[in-house]
Structure 1
Amino acid sequence: MQLLPPLLKGIPGCEFSKLLGTGSGFGFSLWPDFSTYALLMNWKDEKSLNYFFEESSLYKELKSKSNGIQTHYLESIGAHGSWYGENPFPSKNNYRNDKIAVITRARINLNKLPRFWKFVPKASQAIEQAKGLIYTKGIGEWPLIEQATFSIWENEDAMKAYAYADIHKEIIKKVKNENWYKEELFSRFNVLKTLQH
């Protein structure tokens, strides 16, 4: 996995890619899950996507070294914010009134790390108890400093009920008022299909 990032830059039709570590438990996590990695990719077109997963030697090598692969095919509904200065999901499609996926990503200001991590257990407990949550996993590039969550919900109403719950609103208010983040991104997706390999 350490050698993979440079190889991702030359994949035809892939406009954005990140190899991410994962955390154990719910939401943001101090404790890594060394058994699981996340590969986030945004494709120019379906032809390029299909070629990578069906024909490319790189994906075949990843598959041969994995105990299992779960692939979520997503369609961007819209994203706010940036990831190292760019919006990786610029396209905006209509919500299909079905399952919805969310990626929230933050680059935390170093002097705000203690405040951020103080509230992580409360946020993790809230999402663990959230109604309509199908799946969630903490993902990120750098432990402690760059954190993200990937979650799938039964529908948009369930996702919004969690987002607007008192505990979550309290934390978001602190994020804004105390300037916890150097950079952040909130992105939503239609879940087209999920495959297990």
Structure 2
Amino acid sequence: MTLTLMVTLSIVSYSKNKWWAFKQMQLLPPELAKITGCEFVKVLGTGSGFGFSLWPDFNTYALLLKWKDEEATENFFGSSKIFSQVHSRSESVETYYLQSLGAHGSWYGKNPFPEKGKYTGGEIAVITRARININKLPRFWQFVPKASKSIQNANGLIYTKGIGEWPLIEQATFSIWENEQAMKNYAYADIHKEIIGKVKKENWYKEELFSRFNVIKRLSHS
């Protein structure tokens, strides 16, 4: 199947070179943006535990990239010096190949995933991202443990990891579900609905994005 657009999210784990890995959050984005066919770039830190987290995981980072086509994607992972360097310094890299099913909201003023593919059945991935209003931070973090516990216990959840650019004020989650119905069951569960209701009523977020994807494949780079 040829995809005109593809999104990849790579989870990169380090047992050594942790200071080098941390510096790449600033150094890598401008280099990645120069790559032919790369249309959206985020180098993200991750949180420990489930969902949003105050505590960074300095062993793990995420590369979120959007590509013009499949050829550009394979060129990056197959032969680029940038990925080769990341791979060689890491302990492991696992990449999820995703196809956008559409998104609403924005990421620094733009929707990076407006393309609306058709859900093909099977695993579905979700990226939620929020920039929190400064004066709402205490209220937001008051409810984080409750939200994290609810997703940890959710039926049909395969994987989740907190990702983000700035601790405390810019938070995101990446999650994979067995199917669309499992994802919807969690989204409409009472605890999740309660928290979303407070988000809207109390204006916790300055900006937010909700995006869904078909999971095309998952590749562990050897």
Question: What is the TM-score when the length of structure 1 is the normalising length?
Answer: 0.99
Matched residue, 2:82: 58
Question: How many Å separate the matches in 2 of 1:53 and 1:137?
Answer: 22
1:90 deviates by 1.6
Aligned counterpart for 2:166 among listed residues 121, 139, 142: 142
- Determine if the alignment matches structure 1 residue 95 to structure 2 residue 119: yes
Structure 2 gaps of 5+ residues are 1-23
- Determine if the alignment matches structure 1 residue 116 to structure 2 residue 140: yes
Amino acid in structure 1 at the alignment position of 2:213: F
Aligned counterpart for 2:214 among listed residues 190, 193, 197: 190
* Root mean square deviation of aligned Cα: 0.6
Structure 1 gaps of 5+ residues are none
1:118 deviates by 0.2
Give CA deviations for 1:83-137 in whole Å, capped at 9, x if unaligned. Answer: 0011111211000111000000000000000000000000000000000000000
- Determine if the alignment matches structure 1 residue 76 to structure 2 residue 100: yes
Runs of 4 or more, structure 1, over 2 Å off, are none
Question: How many Å separate the matches in 2 of 1:59 and 1:51?
Answer: 10
- Aligned pair count reads 197
- Determine if the alignment matches structure 1 residue 43 to structure 2 residue 67: yes
Aligned counterpart for 1:175 among listed residues 199, 202, 206: 199
Please give the secondary structure, in 1, of the residue aligned with 2:216. Answer: strand
Question: What is the TM-score when the length of structure 2 is the normalising length?
Answer: 0.88
Could you tell me the percent identity over the aligned residues?
73
Question: How many Å separate the matches in 2 of 1:171 and 1:123?
Answer: 8
Please give the secondary structure, in 1, of the residue aligned with 2:92. Answer: coil
Question: How many Å separate the matches in 1 of 2:63 and 2:119?
Answer: 24
